[in-house]
Each structure stands twice: as C-alpha cells, then as structure tokens.
Amino acid sequence: MIIGIVGLGLIGGSVAKAIKHSTPHTVLGRDVLEPVLRKAILLDAIDDSLTDEKLSICDIIIIATYPGICIDFVKNNYQKFKKNVIIMDCCGIKQVVCDALFPLAKEQGFTFIGAHPMAGLEYSGFDNAQRKLFNNASIILVPPQNTDLELLHSIKQFWSNLGFTNFEITTPEKHDRIIAYTSQLAHVVSSAFIKSPTANEHAGFSAGSYKDMTRVARLNETMWTELFLDNSENLEKEVDTVIENLIKYRDALKARDETTLKELLKEGRICKENADKGEDRL
C-alpha cells in the first residue's frame, strides 16, 4: 500500500519509522517544516514527500497534527483523495474531530476512523520519534457506527504490525470522558505540582515519585491548550474532583486529625488496587 502521513512530529514520525521498519508499504510524508521533511527522507523514515498531487494515490492517510489542523486538512483536501481511501487521525481528543469528519466522510464516500495511540514521551518533534515507540502499547479506535467488521479487522492488523498489542474500540464521547482523567488531568496536575517554589531546591532530595509527578510538565503548551479547551467540560469535572479531594487532605493536616488522614490514605490505596485490577485484565 501507499501510506501518507501528515505531520512528522513525535507521533507521526514514529508511525512513519515503524511502518518503514516492519512493513513493505511505501510511506509519503508531509510537514509544515521543510527541514523536518528533508531529514525524514534522509533517514529513510519516509520514501518521498506527500504533495497535493500524491494525495490521490494514497490507500491510507494518517493525520498526526493538532485537532483543528486535522479537520482543516481533510475539509480542504477531500476532493483529492482516492476513492475508498481510509483516513485516520492521531489526535488526543475525538469528539470535535469525529463530529466534523464523520458526516463529511459519509457524504463524500471515504472512510474516516479516529485513532489515538496511547504512547508518547515528554519530548516532542521528529528528532524524538522512535520506531519502537508503540511496542506493546494500546491504541484506541473510534469508528463511525456500523463500520464493516472486515475493515476494522484490517485496520487492527495494520496497527498491530507497528507494535500495538491492545485495542480498544469506543465512541468519541467515551474516549474524551476517560482521556480527560487518564491523560489530560495528569498533565494539569504535573504542571501545577512543579510550580512549588520548593521545586528549585529538589536536587539531591528527589527520587522516583518526584520524577513520575513532574515528567509530563515538560509539555507542548500550544498543543495541550487546544486539547484541554476542546475537552473542557470533561476536564473541568476531573479537576474539580482533585481539588475536592485535596481539600480533604489539607483539612485533616490542619486539624492534626490522624484518624481522618489515615483513612484518606487508605481509601487512596484501595482505589489504586481496584483500578489496577482492570489493567491486569488487558
């Protein structure tokens, strides 16, 4: 097949490298930064550039950009697509993307399926892309209703060839509700946590817990601002829940209430154990 990739940052670049390493497909790439495109060709991450003229020969087009750019790209270029092309995005939210592109795909006769690779780093850009980034990772697929099962199977096989071992199929609504907790809230909390003045004195006093809590504070603020605002209602609820729980811990500390503090910590341990039971089933 001929596969086009729009956006050669961390995720798009890693997809390109994984395809070139593990499949016989031809990969065409596109990026707003010309030096990135040239580097991707020199490093054999892609075979050639994805020009407007070459959109019509792609069997699959993967869009690894910000949500707004993804939507605009499809709306501005769908007339150039090959008949029966499969378009998949890699955006971190799905409701706004799928609401815009499911109807367009149905009307124009191409297939659009949302995809969210659950893998990443605290660093961005093509220079950090890795062909093994997706090994043993999960990917969330968000197809329109009544998608052909044989098509879904072929898409699952495509991503499986890149290293993914767990597949979740869901709706845009459920995706965004859960991702507000599992991903977006973690970035908010990490960003808030590192703002303590004590952070500047951490050297020599920190270990794994500090590193775990602060790793994703090294984020791309432009991208995450768009993701947060596109999913603001779900994320607000999660932030409110954290604040409510933190207040309970603060009040117990202020009151020197050993019994309440111990119970709060116990509740947290039990919640973690229960949550991990679901992960163990994957």
* pLDDT one-digit tens code per residue, 62-118: 999 999 999 999 999 999 999 899 999 999 999 999 999 999 999 999 999 999 999
Residue 282 pLDDT exceeds 90: no
Q: Which domain holds residue 146?
A: 2-170
Mean pLDDT of 32-48: 96
- Same domain as 77, residue 185: no
pLDDT number for residue 121: 77
pTM metric for this prediction: 0.92
pLDDT in tens, 172-189: 999 999 999 999 999 999
Distance CA 16, CA 30 (A): 11
- Same domain as 22, residue 148: yes
Residue 122 pLDDT exceeds 90: no
Task: Tell me what the pLDDT averaged over the chain comes to.
Answer: 95
Residue 159 pLDDT exceeds 70: yes
Q: What is the CATH number of the domain that holds 201?
A: 1.10.3660.10
- Same domain as 52, residue 185: no
Distance CA 75, CA 89 (A): 13
Question: Could you tell me the pLDDT band of residue 127, with boundaries at 50, 70 and 90?
Answer: very high
**What's the total number of domains in the chain?**
2
Among 121, 151, 170, residue at a domain's last position: 170
The 3-class SS string of 153-192 reads HHHHHHHHCCCCCEEEECCHHHHHHHHHHHHHHHHHHHHH
- Same domain as 181, residue 165: no
Q: What is the CATH number of the domain that holds 138?
A: 3.40.50.720
pLDDT in tens, 245-272: 999 999 999 999 999 999 999 999 999 9
Mean pLDDT of 24-35: 96
Residue 55 pLDDT exceeds 70: yes
Residue 16 pLDDT exceeds 80: yes
- Same domain as 150, residue 187: no
- Same domain as 47, residue 25: yes
pLDDT number for residue 280: 61
The H-assigned helical ranges of the chain are 10-22, 34-42, 67-77, 95-108, 149-160, 172-179, 185-193, 208-214, 221-230, 232-254, 258-280
- Same domain as 188, residue 164: no
Among 145, 170, 195, residue at a domain's last position: 170
Among 170, 202, 227, residue at a domain's last position: 170
